[in-house]
Amino acid sequence: MTQLGVAVVGCGFQGGIHARNVARSGRARLVACVDVDGERADHLARTTGAGRSGTRPEEVLASSDVDIVVVATTTHTHHELALEAARHEKHMLLEKPMAMTVDECLEIEQACSEAGIIAALGYKFRFTDAVREARRAVPSPSVLVAQTLYDPSPQGANAWVDDRALSGGRLVSSLVHSVDLLRYLSGEEIIRISATGASITGTADPDTTTASLLFRNGAIGSIVHGTAGASGLLSTWSFQTADLGTNATVHDHGRRLIVHRQGEADTIVVDPCGDPYEAGTAQLFDALIDAVEGETTELPGPRDGTLSLLVARCIEQAIAGGQAVTVPSL
Ligand X SMILES: NC(=O)c1ccc[n+]([C@@H]2O[C@H](COP(=O)([O-])OP(=O)(O)OC[C@H]3O[C@@H](n4cnc5c(N)ncnc54)[C@H](O)[C@@H]3O)[C@@H](O)[C@H]2O)c1
Residue 76 C-beta: closest distance to ligand X, Å:
8
Nearer to ligand X, 122 or 169 (CB): 122
Q: Does 209 bind ligand X (CB under 6 A)?
A: no
Strand partners, 149: 226
Q: Which of 43, 59, 62, 74 binds ligand X (CB under 6 A)?
A: 74
Q: Does 40 bind ligand X (CB under 6 A)?
A: yes
Residue 160 C-beta: closest distance to ligand X, Å:
6
- In which order are the strands placed within the sheet that holds 52-54? 52-54, 28-34, 4-9, 68-71, 91-94, 119-121
With contact defined as beta carbons under 8 Å apart, do 105 and 306 qualify?
Answer: yes
Q: Which of 5, 6, 15, 259 binds ligand X (CB under 6 A)?
A: 15
Q: Residue 234: which residues within 8 A CB-CB, separation 6 or more?
A: 147, 251
Residues 173-192 binding ligand X (CB under 6 A) are: 173
Residue 106 one-letter amino acid: L
Query: What gap in Å lies between CA 224 and CA 102, rounded to an integer?
Result: 23
Q: Which of 24, 37, 114, 140 binds ligand X (CB under 6 A)?
A: 37
Closest of 115, 45, 110, 125 to residue 86, by C-alpha: 115
Nearer to ligand X, 179 or 219 (CB): 179
- Please report the beta strands in 142-261, taking only residues with DSSP state E, as ranges in sequence order: 143-149, 190-198, 208-215, 220-226, 237-243, 246-251, 256-261
CB-closest chain residue to ligand X = 12
Q: Does 145 bind ligand X (CB under 6 A)?
A: no
Question: Which listed range, 44-52, 72-80, 244-252, 321-329, lies at the site for ligand X (CB under 6 A)?
Answer: 72-80
Q: Does 12 bind ligand X (CB under 6 A)?
A: yes
Number of H helices, E strands in the chain: 10, 15
Q: Does 39 bind ligand X (CB under 6 A)?
A: no
Residue 35 C-beta: closest distance to ligand X, Å:
4
Q: Does 305 bind ligand X (CB under 6 A)?
A: no
Query: What gap in Å lies between CA 212 and CA 325, rounded to an integer?
Result: 11
Q: Which of 6, 7, 8, 11 binds ligand X (CB under 6 A)?
A: 11
Q: Does 147 bind ligand X (CB under 6 A)?
A: no
Nearer to ligand X, 5 or 141 (CB): 5
Q: Does 9 bind ligand X (CB under 6 A)?
A: yes
Collapsing DSSP to helix, strand or coil, 97 comes out as coil
The DSSP 8-state label assigned to residue 279 in this structure reads: T
With contact defined as beta carbons under 8 Å apart, do 298 and 287 qualify?
Answer: yes
Q: Which of 50, 72, 99, 181 binds ligand X (CB under 6 A)?
A: 72
Residue 324 C-beta: closest distance to ligand X, Å:
28
Nearer to ligand X, 10 or 206 (CB): 10
Q: Residue 68: which residues within 8 A CB-CB, separation 6 or more?
A: 4, 5, 6, 7, 28, 90, 91, 92, 93, 288, 289, 292
Residue 27 C-beta: closest distance to ligand X, Å:
20
Question: Which listed range, 5-13, 141-149, 257-265, 315-323, lies at the site for ligand X (CB under 6 A)?
Answer: 5-13
Query: What gap in Å lies between CA 69 and CA 168, rounded to an integer?
Result: 22
Binding site for ligand X (CB under 6 A): 9-15, 34-37, 40, 57, 72-75, 77, 95-96, 122, 124, 158, 160, 173
